[in-house]
Chains A and B, each alone.
Chain A
Amino acid sequence: MQPPLLSIKAVQMTFGGLMALNNFSLEVAAGELHGLIGPNGAGKTTVFNILTGFYRPTEGELSFAGTALNGLSPPAISRLGIARTFQNIRLFEELSVLENVLVPFQGRSRLSFWQAILRTPGFWREERWVRDRAWELLTRLDLAHHAMEPAGSLPYGQQRRLEIARALAAAPRLLLLDEPAAGLNPQETAALMALLQDLRRHYGLTILLIEHNMKFVMHICERLTVLDHGLIIAQGAPAEVRRDPRVIRAYLGADAGA
C-alpha cells in the first residue's frame, strides 16, 4: 500500500493546564477528501494550526509526503505544499482580488530584488506567468469579473471562494479548509460541493476539511474523524460514523444515545 500523504502520530497539545488535543493520530491518503468534525471547542482548528506551523505540538510527530513538519515555520510548510483557509476569513482586504491571489506566488518565487528592480526579462517572464495562473484560478472560481475590486468589498460567499483561490495559488498538494460552508445558503453550499469536487479532480488535491454542516460533510467526505474534547471518538466512513453511539452522544448530549 502507498504511504499516506499526511501522517499525524500521537500528537498532544496543551495550553497551560488545558489539554486541547490528546493522542491525536490521523492518516490521510493522497487524493482523499477527509472531514474533521466535532462539537465547538473539540480541537479541530488546533489540528490545522499545528499542521501549518502556527502551534508547536507538545508531543507527537507530523509528516507530510515523507518530510517531518515538526519545527518548521508556517511559510516553510506552505512551500512544502500545504495551504489553508481560515475559519474567520482573513483576506488581504485592502488589496484587490487579483493581488490577493498573486501574493502566494511570491512565497515560491526565486526572483532576486535586483531582477525585480531592474525589470529584467526574467522578471517579466515570471510576472506574466504568475498573472496567467492567477487569472486561471479566478476564472475557475468565478471571481474574474471582480478581479480589480478590493477583496474586503466582496460579499461574504465570494470572500470564502477567494480564500480558496488564494490557498490554491500557493500550489498545495494538501488543502486545509476551515469551515468552508459556514454562513453559506443552501444553493451556495451545493455549489461549493461541486466546486470542491472539480478542484480536486483538476489539481489532484488532497483535502482535509473542518465543517459543522452535517449534510455537507456526509455528502462530500470519504472518511471522517470525529473529535470531542481533544480526543478522537470515531474514525471511518460517513455511514459508519453516523451510527456510532459515541458520536451521537457527543453531538446530542448524554441521554440521546441510550
Chain B
Amino acid sequence: MDKSSWWHRLCTFLSLGLLFLLLLAAHYWAGDYYLRLLNTTAVFITMAVSYNLINGICGQLHLGPNAFVTLGAYTAALLTLTPAEKQASFLIAPLVWPLSDLALPFPLALLAGGLVAVLFAYLTGFPVLRVRGDYLAIVTLGFGEVIRVLANNLQTVTNGPMGLKGLTPYTNLWWSWGVAVLTVATVMGLKKSGFGRAMQAIRADETAARAMGIEPFRHLLLAFLVSAFFLGVAGGLLAHLITTISPTLFTFFLTFNLLIIIVLGGLGSTTGAILATIIITWGNEWLRVVEEPLDFGTFRLPGIPGLRTVIFSLLLLVLIIFYRRGLLGRWEFSWDWLFRKIQGRPDGG
C-alpha cells in the first residue's frame, strides 16, 4: 500500500507539473480571449467543486452559493480599491469609514473575502442546518436573496445598483488555477478522510449515521464552512477578473449555472464537476458560431441570437433522459483506476 501511494503521489506531482507547463505556455502565447477563458474555467471549477461538497457529497440541496460568491467578491473588491478610487466611485453616498481608508494587497483581500463568507456561513449554519430537504433548499435560497438585496440597497457599503468599477485585473492564470488546485485538493482530501466518509454516510442514511456515532450537525457545518471559504475566494477572483461587479452578477442564475454544472458532472463527483465546468464554459464559447451568420456557399443562415441557450437546454434534456446520474455518477478519478485501464485489468479489488 505504501509503495503504491508513493507512486500515486509521484503521478500527482507530475500532472501538476504538466498543468504548470501548460499554463506557462498559455501565459506566453495565448491571446487575451483564451486567457480570459482559462481564468473563467478555473474560477468556475473552484465554485463548482466547493458547491458540490454540500450538494453532492453531503447530499443537502443548498441553493444559496451566490451569497458566498457575492460576499467574497464585494469584500475583496472593497479591499483592493485604493481610497481615492473608492471616493471617485461612491457618488451618491460615501463609503463607510473603515472600508473607505483600507487598502490591502490582492492575496490578503482574497483571504478576507473567503473569511467573510465563512463567517456568514457560520452564522446562517445554525438555522439552516436544523432543517433538511426542501426546507433547507428554501432557507438557503432565501439567504441568497437577502445578500443580493443587501448588495443592491446598502448604498454606503456596496455602492448600490451601480456596483464597483475599475478594479485592477489582478486575477491571472496563477491565482485562478492555484486556487482551483487548492480547492480540488482540499475537497478530495476531505472526501477521502473520516470526515468525508461521515458526510457521505449522512447523505446515504442520516438515521443510520447517527446510530453509528456520527454527529450530522458537526460534519455538515464543516462542509458548509469549507465550501463557503472557497466560494468566497472564487468571488474575489471573479471580481478581479471582470473588474466590474454589480448585484445583477450574483442573482439566482449564478446558483442555477453551478447547479447545472454539478448535476451534469454527477452529484458528489469532484472529477465530474471539473469535467462539466470545462464542457459548459468551453461549449458556451464554441457554440457562439451558431449565433453568427453561417455561409454554406449555396445558401446563408442568418445568426439567431439566443440559439446557444436553446442548444444547451436540449443537451441537458438529453442528458437527463439518458444519464440520470450525470456524466460520471459518483465515480471519481484515481491513479489506481488509470493503471488498471492501462494494464487491461478489470475494475474492482
Interface residues of A (CB under 8 A from B): 52, 54, 73-75, 78-79, 83-84, 86, 90-95, 99, 102-109, 111, 113, 116-117, 119, 123, 126-127, 130, 148-149, 166-167, 169-170
Whether A92 lies near B193 (C-beta < 8 A) is no
A50 CB → nearest B CB, Å? 13
Contact among B189, B190, B194, B330 with A102 in the assembled complex (CB-CB below 8 Å): B194
Contact among A84, A105, A111 with B211 in the assembled complex (CB-CB below 8 Å): A84
Listed by A's residue number, 29 A-B pairs whose Cβ atoms lie within 8 Å are A52-B211, A75-B210, A78-B211, A83-B211, A86-B211, A91-B204, A91-B205, A92-B200, A92-B204, A99-B200, A102-B194, A103-B198, A103-B214, A104-B213, A105-B194, A106-B197, A107-B212, A107-B213, A109-B194, A111-B194, A116-B189, A116-B195, A117-B189, A119-B189, A123-B193, A127-B193, A148-B349, A166-B212, A169-B212
- In angstroms, Cα B190 to Cα A105, docked, is 15
Residue of B nearest to A171 (CB): B213
Whether A95 lies near B214 (C-beta < 8 A) is no
- In angstroms, Cα B205 to Cα A54, docked, is 14
Residue of B nearest to A108 (CB): B213
Q: Is B82 an interface residue (CB 8 A)?
A: no
Q: Which residues of B contact A103 (CB under 8 A)?
A: 197-198, 201, 209, 212, 214
Q: For the complex, count residues of B whose C-beta is within 8 A of A.
A: 25
Whether A79 lies near B330 (C-beta < 8 A) is no
Contacts A90-B207, A92-B205 hold; do A107 and B214 have CB atoms under 8 A apart? yes
How does the 8 Å CB contact mask read for B323-349 relative to A, with 1 for contact and 0 for none?
000000010000000000000000011
- Sorted nearest first, the 5 A-B pairs with minimum C-beta distance are A107-B213, A78-B213, A106-B194, A92-B204, A116-B193
Q: Which residues of A contact B207 (CB under 8 A)?
A: 54, 90
A174 CB → nearest B CB, Å? 13
Contact among A73, A83, A113, A148 with B212 in the assembled complex (CB-CB below 8 Å): A83
- In angstroms, Cα B222 to Cα A106, docked, is 14
Q: Is B291 an interface residue (CB 8 A)?
A: no
Interface residues of B (CB under 8 A from A): 186, 189-190, 193-195, 197-198, 200-201, 204-205, 207-215, 222, 330, 348-349
Residue of B nearest to A74 (CB): B210
Q: Which residues of B contact A78 (CB under 8 A)?
A: 210-213
Contacts A75-B215, A78-B213 hold; do A102 and B193 have CB atoms under 8 A apart? no
Q: Which residues of A contact B208 (CB under 8 A)?
A: 86, 90-92
Contact among B190, B195, B201, B213 with A95 in the assembled complex (CB-CB below 8 Å): B201
- Main SS class of interface, A: helix
Whether A92 lies near B213 (C-beta < 8 A) is no
Q: Which residues of B contact A126 (CB under 8 A)?
A: 194
Residue of A nearest to B194 (CB): A106
Q: Which residues of A contact B211 (CB under 8 A)?
A: 52, 54, 74, 78, 83-84, 86
- In angstroms, Cα B209 to Cα A54, docked, is 12
Contact among B186, B194, B204, B215 with A93 in the assembled complex (CB-CB below 8 Å): B204
- In angstroms, Cα B210 to Cα A83, docked, is 11
A204 CB → nearest B CB, Å? 19
B128 CB → nearest A CB, Å? 19
